[in-house]
Amino acid sequence: MASQSMEIMAKALEHQVLQSARMVEEQVDAELNKLERMDDDDLEKLKERRLEALKKAQKQKQEWISKGHGEYREIPSEKDFFAEVKDSKNTVCHFYKDSTFRCKILDKHLAILAKKHLETKFLKLNVEKAPFLTERLRIKVIPTLALVKDGKTKDYVVGFTDLGNTDEFPTEMLEWRLGCSDIINYSGNLMEPPTLTQKSGTKFTKVEKKTIRGRGYDSDSDSD
């Protein structure tokens, strides 16, 4: 009896697989037929649309580069901060101190991401040169990343808490965290930090896509 049931289940599964394969085959055939029916004018229009899209993307890229995107830059004073964030839709600004070791770790990752994500401007600002701005943004932990969208501070990455509480986090972990705040175009899975799939005993904090501006920080500002 059990053998007969297994045979029925196997046949049902085989039928389901065949049905799925047939549907995929029909979809492919439909696309091929559609392409075959296209005349020279249709193909020319398709090429023109693709060329126009490429031109538009290239123009956007050049506009970003002209605004200082594509490289991780230091700005000399807090006055420059306001002009920089006003000029770009998405900005990540690293508030740092030379004496804080973890700032140097962030520098390395931010330089990589600046080249990869041209849609976002990546900056750094020495807190000792920005007392007014540091107070206004309530920055009490160094390093802190201020994530600014459309000229308004949307979120913060404070220390390494959201990055796995380790100095050894990969660049992909920071990329994921910035993606959670929609400050970069992130193509991965926002529901799971990339390092969760890697060999590690570190505990991770999943981050909700929400604004945390104004949160009080009790950690020492120079604490590593």
Tens-digit pLDDT string for the chain (224 aa): 556 666 676 666 776 777 777 788 878 777 777 766 667 677 777 788 888 888 888 898 889 999 999 999 999 999 999 999 999 999 999 999 999 999 999 999 999 999 999 999 999 999 999 999 999 999 999 999 999 999 999 999 999 999 999 999 999 999 999 999 999 999 999 998 886 555 444 444 444 444 334 333 333 333 33
Q: What angle do CA 147, 170, 155 make, to 5 degrees?
A: 15
Q: Which amino acid is at 138?
A: R
Q: What is the CATH number of the domain that holds 82?
A: 3.40.30.10
57 with 93, same domain? no
Q: Do 25 and 84 fall within a single domain? A: no
Helix (H) or strand (E) holding 93: strand 90-96
Rounded to two decimals, the pTM is 0.68
Q: Alpha carbon 126 to chain centroid distance?
A: 24
Pick from 24, 45, 64: which residue ends a domain? 64
Closest by alpha carbon to 203, among 150, 151, 164, 160? 164
One domain for residues 99 and 187: yes
Residue 46 resides in a domain: yes
Q: Name the domain count of the chain.
A: 2
Q: Given 12, 47, 64, which residue is the final one in a domain? A: 64
* Domain of 88, in residue numbers: 70-197
CB 75, CB 166: distance < 8 Å: no
Instruction: Give the domain-ending residue among 64, 90, 108.
Output: 64
Phi-psi sector, 197: left (phi>0), alpha (psi -120 to 50), beta: alpha
